[in-house]
Amino acid sequence: MKALRADLRLAWELTRGSDRGEWWRVALTATGAALATGFALAAVALASLRGSYRVSVAAGLLDEPGTRSGVIVGLLLLLVPVLGFLGQCARVGAVHRDRRLAGLRLAGATPWQVRRIAALETGLACLLGSAVATVCTVLLLLRQWDRPTALAWVGITLVAVAVPVLGAASGALALRRVVASPLGWVRRVGPRGGRGPGLLFLAGVLLVGVLALLTVGTTSPAASNRPNGGPPLQLMGVVLAVGAGAVWLSGATAKATGRILAVRARSAATLIAAERLRDDPWSAARTHAAVLLVTVVGTGFLGIRQVMSDVVRTQRFSAPASYYTTGLDLTGAAIAIAFAITLSGLAVGTAESLATRRRGLAAQAAAGVPRTVLGRALLLETALPLAPAVLLSGLGGTAIGTWYALLAGRPVPWAITLVPVAVYAACLLAAATSLPLLRRSLRPGELRYA
């Protein structure tokens, strides 16, 4: 206990003495943890319901176990972009943090001490976000639900504890290389090459999948009109398979784009961007994978939405039309939230990549490399690998929309082909939010600090 207190104090002192980047990391990590907690708590609260209920929100969508399990899966799926976002947050100030902790090792700290401090740094930020989200969710829940069941309280407690614990564990795991080789890390000046697609992210996605299986498996069979949770599970399986494939696809696309363009580049900006991609194609793979997922799901959904809206408008069903339109609107809102989180992750990742390289960039500018060239290279690092990947995922989403339209015997909603274009433009805009930071990074003052 005494050792933990000492580590806690040291972690606090290190964070307090850190630069603005570290505070950004804490704030963004807490935000990500709050989002994760919020979505998980909502899913847990719904999963604790058994049988039919009258829920005053969502136009009856939450009343029956069948549709409720679909909403639960949707909420759990929202955790995937949040995981990508948290992964990007962990990279903010990563180089400086790794050096600082490696410095601790050199100063005599044991590997276990360094791991504990790293875990505390991340865990505390997650605890903050988790606590805020838990308090807000519980207050909101008590306004809708007079007496939540014991199962709901157990689930809420588990989520509130699990988020900071998982955050702390991932913080410690992320530093395994520093712990193993402090000297090697301190001396490393360039970015790491040949990294995998982010085992922590994939483990997180797997965890989300297992949770979804558990919740659907325990809630859906209780439905009288739907004996099993087959469709949501199949959807979940497809999305997870596509998600895992998307991580590899985006990394592989970045690598191939870098390799092809590096030898053919005619301009300095393209050369710099292509070589950066070739050197570390996995750096943005998680965020890009989330972009691909959102593109597939968003394009496909808009196609399905258009067809379903058409069907609901022209045919009569037993449930009121608002039941279906609310379902469509909620799904649309969830996809929009996922897209917003993904774009935030992209912006954070681009900003972090700049912050890590700021001294080198200032040296480039001092040596006469125009700011416009460096700015173009920054945008190209996002634009080049995303172009083929978004095109492919847009085609996939359009195929889903077309298939559904043909199935329902309705006209194909061709307008959805514009979705990938809009996603691509939004991604470039998200990357462009770092351009003011680039301007600051090029200040001669950066040359004065190592």
Partner 1 sequence: MSRPVPLLSASGLTKAHGRTPALRGASVDLHAGEILAVTGASGSGKSTLLHCLAGIVRPDEGSVTYDGRRLADLPEKRLSELRRTEFGVVFQFGQLIPELTALDNVALPLLLAGTDRARSRTLAGEWLERFGVRGQQDLRPGEMSGGQAQRTALARALVTGPRVVFADEPTGALDSLSGEQVMTALVHTARESGTAVLLITHDAQVAAYADREVQLRDGAVAPLGVTA
Residues in the site for partner 1, rule: CB under 8 A?
A: 188-191, 265-268, 271-272, 275-276, 278-280, 359-360, 362-371, 373, 444-445, 447-448
Between 107 and 367, CB nearer to partner 1: 367
Write out the E strands in 231-310. Answer: none
Q: How far is the CB of 282 from partner 1 (least distance, A)?
A: 14
For 95-112, letters b (16+ CB in 10 Å) and e give bbbbebbbebbeeebeee
Q: How far is the CB of 189 from partner 1 (least distance, A)?
A: 5
Contact 346, 431 (CB under 8 A): yes
Between 229 and 258, CB nearer to partner 1: 258
Alpha-carbon gap, residue 323 to 182, rounded angstroms = 58
Between 259 and 410, CB nearer to partner 1: 259
Q: How far is the CB of 284 from partner 1 (least distance, A)?
A: 14
**93 phi, psi to nearest 5 deg:** 65, 15
Q: Tokens in use for 384?
A: 């080049």
349: which residues sit within 8 A by CB, 6+ positions away?
A: 88, 91, 283, 284, 287
174: which residues sit within 8 A by CB, 6+ positions away?
A: 90, 94, 118, 122, 200
Q: How far is the CB of 360 from partner 1 (least distance, A)?
A: 5
Between 191 and 231, CB nearer to partner 1: 191
| Helix orientation angle between 285-314 and 418-432, rounded to the nearest 10 degrees | 140
Between 115 and 278, CB nearer to partner 1: 278
Between 27 and 268, CB nearer to partner 1: 268
Alpha-carbon gap, residue 171 to 32, rounded angstroms = 14
Q: How far is the CB of 388 from partner 1 (least distance, A)?
A: 21
Length of the chain equals 450
Q: How far is the CB of 94 from partner 1 (least distance, A)?
A: 16
Q: How far is the CB of 190 from partner 1 (least distance, A)?
A: 3
Closest CA to 417 of 391, 398, 390: 398
